[in-house]
Chain A
Amino acid sequence: MKTGRLARLEGLGILCGFAAGAWLGAAEAPTKLVVVGLAPVVVSLAMVVGVFFARWTIPALIHGTASIGADLRRTPHLVVWAILAGCLWAVANTLTVYAIRDIGLSIAFPLWNSNSLLGILWGVVFFNELRGAGRSRWLGVLGGAALMFGGATLLALASAAAAGSAGSGGNPRHGIAAALMAGMLWGTMYIPYRKAYLTGMNPLSFVTFFTVGELGMMSILALAVTGGGSALWHELELARPALFWLLVGGFIWVVGDLLQQFAAKYAGISRGIPLSNTNQLWGLAWGILVFGELHGIGGAGYARVIGGSLLMALGAGAIAFASASEREHEWWRVAAERESQRYGIDPAWVQARLLGDAAGPGPRQRRPLDWLFLVVATLVFGAAALVARAPAIRVAWVWVGVLAVALVILLFAAGIRLWRDTEFS
């Protein structure tokens, strides 16, 4: 195993983790324009539809569906894993709606944000992450995750105080169970992520199948919650003027999620996932700067925001600097070998993929199917834009510009390195 190459790829994974946080945080912004008066499950479903189209077009644009087909033939079992991960995501996302209803965001958020701690546990137990890492790296990752957890709690308290979200007197036992379960589902979702990348699957292929589970499970849940097909259709009709913004939110989310997938592949879940959880910081920045939220929260509120942001930044920094040692990389290789043996995959191919070497059809192979995906997605987004209503909310466009520039810079920084070092492998 080429240690220098792995160290460079881990640095790339950490960069992807930070960029993922920025894009996942920005995905909330379009939804803030429209969610008033809509059923939460419909908001989720509409976003997932946007996610679905984005997840079928972006990979088709970058690598072409031929590359996805090649991954499918080499590692067919990972399709099941990806669909399973999509189902986990959809159930977790729906549970958060009920958690907020019953106990409010300030209590619910820290409970489900424990997902990164569970992700670290699974990374250590199942995939040899942090094995042979030494005390300082353990301290960096665990201490960093704990700092981020504390920071996230302070930010959630400040957000909830501003939104007046203290829970509407629902059943607290239900709310706590829903929030903890959402964290458990999201934390466990990282098992399929890591499994896929240790077995050589390309993140672009993984997300393509992930979205099948995500949209399928979300549709079933939306049907169950709204009370059937005609009731759901009625809710979607009501949401029609807002659909475009929700689709855009889903699209932005996919860019963040793709970066998170590359972070999980190259930095491991114990480091990549906490870093992408900086999305809360970015979501708050959009809320404060663009939508003028948190006005009049008082000195204690601002202290929470500043303290929480600093703690999150410190935690993320600690994790970013606790890079894997040569010995730990050796343990990653052992975990990858185990997967090759179990599923009968050529170890040389898996090792090449772990080192970010592009394998299979070249990135420039495009088929008519790829262009068909692009045309269909463009038509759907275009049709939604035609019936979209301009948001009535006040928006600070200067800050939209500043944050958008930051997003583009991070995307280009990560994208160029991903292309140069791995050709998005």
Chain B
Amino acid sequence: MTPRGSWWRAMLGDVHFWVPVAVLVLGLLVLRWVR
């Protein structure tokens, strides 16, 4: 079991987390471009 409080570290080390983050940033950039 991961000690309580370290879920942030687990999440930041999870590639699954960075895919949606990267897509969100890309989406905001595209939105800025097409406006």
Residues in chain B near residue A95, CB distance under 8 A: 27, 30-31, 34
Q: With A and B bound together, what is the CA distance between A76 and B4 in angstroms?
A: 10
User: What's the Cα separation between A95 and B23 when bound, in Å?
Assistant: 13
Range for the number of chain A residues in contact with chain B: 35 or more
- Give complex CA distance A177, B35 in Å: 12
Q: B20 contacts A98, CB within 8 Å?
A: no
A188 sits at the interface (CB 8 A):
yes
Q: List 30 A-B contacts (CB under 8 A).
A: A77-B8, A77-B11, A80-B11, A85-B20, A91-B31, A92-B27, A95-B27, A95-B30, A95-B31, A102-B34, A122-B19, A126-B16, A171-B34, A177-B34, A178-B31, A181-B27, A181-B30, A181-B31, A184-B23, A184-B27, A185-B23, A185-B27, A189-B20, A192-B20, A342-B14, A343-B7, A344-B1, A344-B3, A344-B6, A344-B10
Contact at B27–A88, with CB atoms within 8 Å? Answer: yes
Residues on the B chain within 8 Å of A225, using CB: 35
A-side residues, CB < 8 A to B, are 76-77, 80-81, 84-85, 87-88, 91-92, 94-95, 98, 102, 122, 126, 171, 174-175, 177-178, 181-182, 184-185, 188-189, 191-192, 195, 221, 225, 342-344, 346
CB distance from A277 to the nearest CB of B (A): 19
**Residues on the A chain within 8 Å of B11, using CB:** 77, 80, 343
Question: What 6 additional pairs, Cβ within 8 angstroms, besides A88-B23, A95-B34, A178-B30?
Answer: A184-B23, A188-B19, A191-B20, A192-B20, A342-B10, A344-B6
The complex places the Cα of A91 from the Cα of B20 at a distance, in Å, of 12
Please name the 10 residue pairs, one residue from A and one from B, whose CB atoms are nearest each other, closest first: A344-B2, A174-B34, A77-B7, A181-B30, A91-B27, A188-B23, A344-B1, A178-B34, A185-B27, A98-B34
Residues in A with CB closer than 8 Å to B8 are 77
Interface range on chain B (Cβ under 8 Å from partner): 20 to 34
The answer to whether residues A77 and B35 also contact, given A95-B30, A185-B23, A185-B24 and a CB cut-off of 8 A, is no
Q: Least Cβ distance of A105 to chain B in Å?
A: 16
Q: How far is the CA of A95 from the CA of B7 in the complex (A)?
A: 32
Contact, CB under 8 Å: A343 / B2: yes
Which residues of chain B come closer than 8 Å to A98, judged between CB atoms? 31, 34-35
- Determine the residue in chain A with the shortest Cβ distance to B5: A76
In whole angstroms, how far apart are the Cα atoms of A70 and B29 in the complex? 37
Q: Which residue of B lies closest to A188 (CB)?
A: B23
A184 to B20, CA, bound (A): 10
> How long is the Cα–Cα vector from A80 to B17 in the complex, in angstroms?
10
CB-defined contacts of A195 to chain B, threshold 8 Å: 16
CA distance A102 to B8 in the complex (A): 41
Taking the closest CB of chain B, its distance from the CB of A189, in whole angstroms, is 7
Q: Which residue of B lies closest to A94 (CB)?
A: B31
Q: How far is the CB of B20 from chain A (nearest CB, A)?
A: 5
Given A77-B8, A181-B27, A344-B1, decide whether A174 and B14 contact each other with a Cβ distance below 8 A: no
